[in-house]
Amino acid sequence: MTADSAVRARLRDLYSTEPAAKTLLDSLAVRERDAASTSIDRLADLAGISRRRAVDLARTLDQIGAGTFVLGRRGQRSRIEWQFDVRSLGLAAAQEDEGLRKPTDAADEGAVASRHDTVLAAAKLLIARSLGVPIEAIEIVIRA
């Protein structure tokens, strides 16, 4: 089992057992842009939990290898610094992924196509869940 596979397996377990983690990871899956880090306060908002629980969740995400929890010092906020593209983390947790991706570089030409693919995958996931149908039943057609 590769390191990425281990992280994916742990994410899926966390996603299925922790409602706050599910809420957070679902919100990450539908982001339009990647994030290098997320403050604990923002994490608490996204997950709908207290700041204290957000710290615990960040530490758990650190332990499973999704990111690194950084305790704020000297005016810096406590945060989690992501090891992977946050959208791919959210999709991996929901088992709707093609694998974890390293954070994208805006200068990378493939980043735009990758971002569009991720947004479409996240949209399909949300539509399928809201309608209660399998993701395979969702088809998005774009006409230009």
Of the two residues 27 and 109, the one the predictor is more confident about is 27
The yes-or-no verdict on residue 1 having pLDDT over 80 is no
pLDDT band of 109, cuts 50, 70, 90: very low
Q: In sequence order, what are the residues at sequence separation of 6 or more whose Cβ sits closer than 8 angstroms to the Cβ of residue 135? A: 96, 124, 125, 128
- Beta-sheet strands, E only, within 23-135: 37-39, 67-70, 79-82
Decide if 12 contacts 93 (C-beta within 8 A). yes
pTM over 0.85: no
Mean pLDDT, residues 93-118: 58
Write out the two tokens for 82: 């992501």
User: What integer pLDDT is reported at residue 113 of this predicted model?
Assistant: 44
Q: How many CB atoms lie within 10 A of CB 38?
A: 23
DSSP 124: H
Q: Which CATH class is domain 3-103?
A: mainly alpha
pLDDT tens track for 60-97: 999 999 999 998 888 888 999 999 888 888 888 887 66
Domains in the chain: boundaries: 3-103
Q: What pLDDT does residue 81 have?
A: 93
